């Protein structure tokens, strides 16, 4: 994995145009609002400076897959109190929660050209995608979720900290997909030692971070109750009515937990990468 150099003037112009077009398309598709699109464009531009179109493709793949899954059976997820607010339209808090760490990793790569920041970038994106996919797919499981901090206890679908076998399989699959995309685009490259260490680190960093997200969800994440139907929800509103805090820390919402999880994905991936380079011959 080597620094490929900054984009040429032509590539830079094409990259800016592409980022703006993608932001407009996402907005028109009601996948994101204007502040969210602006935040996403900034993060995408920094990633483009660090790794060119390949890094940009990774971000686009994450956003596209997440948006599609968020809207899949949205009404059912809304009944559970676990659907994305505003009809699935993301805003800047969600954008930063899932992309800020990736943007910082890209800045690290620009400043140092060190492989470990490439691993951090993919680790954070893989963690964000694995968590999103595990949540959106796990909600559709026919098996009742178990509380990750007490696996003997069953919880209702949509309860923070609940995990299912389907969700875990989706998590692993997602981590493999991001790693495969990174490898196919040449983001993860080099000799066997470097490629093996980087791939393993991104995959397991994402899996660990996703389950850490569930632990946070089952312990400190704020949980609210709908004043209309009594449903448990992470949202601040339900049935267009403000919800009431009933558990966890009120200031620790889903976006805060996601930010912590993506940071964990980056840090765990970086740590594993550094360790594996020492032990792989």
Domain residue limits, the chain:
9-279
What φ, ψ does residue 265 adopt, rounded to 5°?
A: -60, -40
Rounded CA gap, 52 and 93, in Å? 25
Give tens-digit pLDDT for 67-113: 888 777 666 666 655 555 555 688 999 999 999 999 999 999 999 99
- Coil/strand/helix, residue 162: strand
pLDDT tens by residue, 220-274: 987 777 767 766 666 666 666 777 777 667 778 889 999 999 999 999 999 999 9
Number of neighbours of residue 149 by Cβ within 10 angstroms: 14
pLDDT at 39 over 90: yes
- Could you read off the pLDDT of 129-172 as tens digits, one per residue? 999 999 889 888 888 899 999 998 998 887 888 999 999 999 99
What's the pTM value of the predicted model, to 2 decimals? 0.89
């Amino acid at each position: 994995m080597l620094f490929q150099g900054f984009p040429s003037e032509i590539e830079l112009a094409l990259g800016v145009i592409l980022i703006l077009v993608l932001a407009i398309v996402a907005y028109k598709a009601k996948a994101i609002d204007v502040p969210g699109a602006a935040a996403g464009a900034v993060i995408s531009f920094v990633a483009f400076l660090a790794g060119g179109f390949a890094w940009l493709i990774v971000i686009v793949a994450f956003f596209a897959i997440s948006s599609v899954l968020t809207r899949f059976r949205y009404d059912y997820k809304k009944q559970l109190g676990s659907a994305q607010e505003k009809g699935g339209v993301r805003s800047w808090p969600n954008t930063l929660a899932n992309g800020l760490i990736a943007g910082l990793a890209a800045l690290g790569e620009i400043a140092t050209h060190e492989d470990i920041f490439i691993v951090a970038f993919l680790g954070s994106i893989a963690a964000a995608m694995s968590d999103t996919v595990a949540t959106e797919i796990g909600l559709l499981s026919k098996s009742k979720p178990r509380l990750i901090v007490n696996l003997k206890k069953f919880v209702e679908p949509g309860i923070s900290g609940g995990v299912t076998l389907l969700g875990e399989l989706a998590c692993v699959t997602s981590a493999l997909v991001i790693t495969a995309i990174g490898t196919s685009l040449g983001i993860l490259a080099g000799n066997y030692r470097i490629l093996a260490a980087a791939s393993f680190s991104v995959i397991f960093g994402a899996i660990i971070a996703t389950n850490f997200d569930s632990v946070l969800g089952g312990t400190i994440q704020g949980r609210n109750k709908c004043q209309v139907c009594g449903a448990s929800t992470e949202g601040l509103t339900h049935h267009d009515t403000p919800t009431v805090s009933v558990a966890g820390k009120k200031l620790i919402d889903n976006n805060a937990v996601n930010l912590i999880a993506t940071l964990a994905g980056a840090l765990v991936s970086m740590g594993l990468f550094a360790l594996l380079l020492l032990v792989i011959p």
